[in-house]
Amino acid sequence: MGSGFRLIFDCILLLMLFGICQSSTVGVCYGRNADDLPTADKVVQLIQLHNIKNVRIYDSNIQILKAFANTGIELMIGISNLDLLPFAQFQSNADTWLKNSILPYYPATKITYITVGAEVTEAPNNVSALVVPAMQNVFTALRKAGLHRKIKVSSTHSLGILSRSFPPSAGAFNSSHAFFLRPMLEFLAEHQSPFMVDIYPYYAYRDSSSNVSLDYALFESSSEVIDPNTGWLYTNMFDAQIDAIYFALMALNFRTIKIMVTETGWPSKGSPKETAATPDNAQTYNTNLIRHVINDTGTPAKPGEEIDVYIFSLFNENRKPGLESERNWGLFFPDQTSVYNLDFTGRGSLDTTTGSNITSSNGTSWCIASPTASEDDLRKGLDWACSSGNVDCSAIQPSQPCFEPDSLASHASYAFNSYYQQNGATDIACRFGGAGIRTNKNPSYDNCLYMTLG
């Protein structure tokens, strides 16, 4: 038996037995520090439309937990820094929270991770000492409910938890955090939970543009950075930062803990001095990131290693303080229109001018229902386009020009195309969770005229 076939066979066997050999995933952070955001139900429709399977929220809001019920979307929920004290003080507080805020909605809502605290080393009040006791109490509550193997407990960190990150092989944790960091790492190793970190190559470039090239931060570099200790070649900042954490973990003899990136992204707008915060750069970074992750490329230190990543953020959040860029990390505006073209499958084009490579001789393309789409996907896409998508669907109502043929595929095609044209005829505007497909043949018929761009 060939080695390649043996590897595939072994992987399939392990998958059947243990549920492993799964690929890396790309999710999105759903922050809500903004005005005029859509209702939770509409947000879920938007997430489903773009085929996003993993979502991080920063609390355990009941309305949001309800909205994600029976969607199959895996949800990471959070306990804020402000709530760490009661969770750390008494086991009963964690037990009550789980009973009242989680158990009524699980497993219909597929909660897979709980983050206990967020970037505590960056918090204005020193709450680091509370993290591990709170994590232990949450874990104990989950164990009592029989959920400790299904819902993992961890805490998120900024890259500032390192005292050194370059070269990657010299990565080291800041010794001032040792008092809580080692017990936390012991907890993660014991319970097979990931080390969660928020990674932003944008800040590395913005704050040190004389030392970091923009192409290197955007996964676009044609040159390489050499780690002098290992000889490994780095073509992007993301991998270098991930490997710095791997080496920091290994320096403390923690070699089995996996890394999860709970936030990363690029802003589409900034203050006058933030010249790299543009829609083009944001699209380039996130598109290249998605491709890099879903291909299981790994890093020089861990080639082929799976790593799950969450893009920050779903929406622009206008209430966030700080520089202009802080309010412009979103993939969508609050009205649910795209800030820029992004395809979560990793196959999307980087061309925002045409948005498609399927055009007729006069430069026109249309979006119709895919013949391979399921009825459920077509119905979801149709319902979304005619409601949250702001498409005028009056033409497919009874006695109107596009009602006949009275079929789900025909009605979905009309609605899909209207949304596609209204949103610039871009690649992503015809996704509909895979239910839409572009064509260069005009689908208009009789008195039913399909919209075109402009």
Give catalytic residues, as residue numbers: 119, 263
Residue 270 has which token pair?
Answer: 């900034």
Neighbours of 323 (CB within 10 A): 15
Q: How many CA atoms lie within 13 A of 355 on its CB side?
A: 22
Type and span of the H or E element at 202: helix 201-207
What 3-state class would DSSP assign to 172? Answer: strand
Type and span of the H or E element at 214: helix 214-217
Q: State the pairing for strand pair 309-312/26-29.
A: parallel
Q: How many whole angstroms separate alpha carbon 73 and alpha carbon 413?
A: 26
Q: How many whole angstroms separate alpha carbon 286 and alpha carbon 310?
A: 10
Do 220 and 213 contact (CB within 8 A), yes or no? no
Going from the C-alpha of 294 to that of each of 23, 25, 105, 126, 173, the distances in angstroms are: 7, 6, 30, 37, 28
How far is residue 434 CA from its own chain's centroid?
A: 18
Q: How many whole angstroms separate alpha carbon 27 and alpha carbon 66?
A: 19
Of 306, 162, 298, which is closest to residue 232 (Cα–Cα)?
298
Q: How many whole angstroms separate alpha carbon 427 and alpha carbon 60?
A: 34
Strand partners, 261: 197, 309
Residue 300 has which token pair?
Answer: 């020089």
